Amino acid sequence: MSQTATPPLAPRAALRWAVVRNVVRRVAPSTILELGCGRGGFGARLARMASYTAVEPDETSWQAAHDWISPVGGTVVHGDHLKAPDPGTYDLVCAFEVLEHLADDAAALEEWLPLVRPGGHLLLSVPADPERFGPWDEHVGHYRRYSSPQLGERLAAAGAVDIALRHYAWPLGYALDSVRDRLAVRRSGEVAESTAEERTAGSGRVLQPGARLTGLAVRVGITPFTALQSFAPRKGPGLVALARRPV
């Protein structure tokens, strides 16, 4: 792969990145830690914006992330957040589509926040709207979806302050969720034969575009929807939260 290449993003991830990129630019961190970076779709982009470190427990995803991120100067560690080097020093700690996979999300947030330097930020994304929990959530090992108040309360209980939340992926995300739910129903036998942990491990590899040409088509196709979602920060099946660790 070219050292200037970035891995293609699936449509939902591309809509998420449009929001995340703007948040990161506004925070302007010098150092970033990403927890559960998957195959490196966001990491390969974040590593161009700051000094970047990531952890990823799934070996297959870790190898893909390493191959994408190392050429642009980032570091990817095989393991979970306990393997993150230099805890408590990062300007920004990120976890995208990770918290919903954890049985004890409150305990996770209590362990994640201290990875941030005092005064630094924690940036999360999660699926929104608990009432929309469906076959796809089961298929990829989700324990829950979140409302804005629920996620805000979890962050506050962990000790975070200055919590800001916004939805994304309106209106396209609803259609994408419907397609994914129908696909999950067809594959329902896979859920019965696997644990939530096994489904979580493979979730970052599901429905990922496999070619740069596909990624370009996705980027062009979702362009009008990235503009639309900016007009509806209280709508959409995805949720992004930015919070700060107190000084």
Query: Does 2 have pLDDT greater than 70?
Result: no
Burial 188-221 (b: 16+ CB within 10 A, else e): eeebeeeebeebbbbbbeeebbeeeeebeebbee
pTM of the model: 0.91
Res. 202: pLDDT tops 70: no
**Given this model, what pLDDT does residue 115 score?**
98
- Contacts of 105 by beta carbon, 8 Å cutoff, 6+ apart: 99, 143, 144, 154
Q: How many CA atoms lie within 13 A of 209 on its CB side?
A: 19
pLDDT at 158 over 90: yes
Rounded distance between C-alpha atoms, residue 200 and residue 140, angstroms: 6
Q: What is the pLDDT of residues 18-56, one digit of tens each?
A: 999 999 999 999 999 999 999 999 999 999 999 999 999
Q: Which of 128, 161, 162 lies closest to 232 in space, CA to CA?
A: 128
Residue 220's pLDDT band (cuts 50, 70, 90): confident
Task: Please provide the CATH number assigned to the domain covering 11-244.
Answer: 3.40.50.150
Residue type, 74: G
193 pLDDT exceeds 90?
A: no
Query: Residue ranges per domain, the chain?
Result: 11-244
User: What span, in angstroms and rounded, lies between the C-alpha atoms of 19 and 24?
Assistant: 9
Q: Which of 30-34, 150-154, 202-206, 226-230 has the lowest mean pLDDT?
A: 202-206
Average pLDDT on 163-189 reads: 93
pLDDT at residue 7 tops 60: yes
Residue 169 has pLDDT above 50, yes or no: yes
**For 64-122, how does the pLDDT look when each residue is reduced to its tens digit (9 = 90+)?**
999 999 999 999 999 999 999 999 999 999 999 999 999 999 999 999 999 999 999 99
pLDDT band at 219 (very low <50, low <70, confident <90, very high): confident
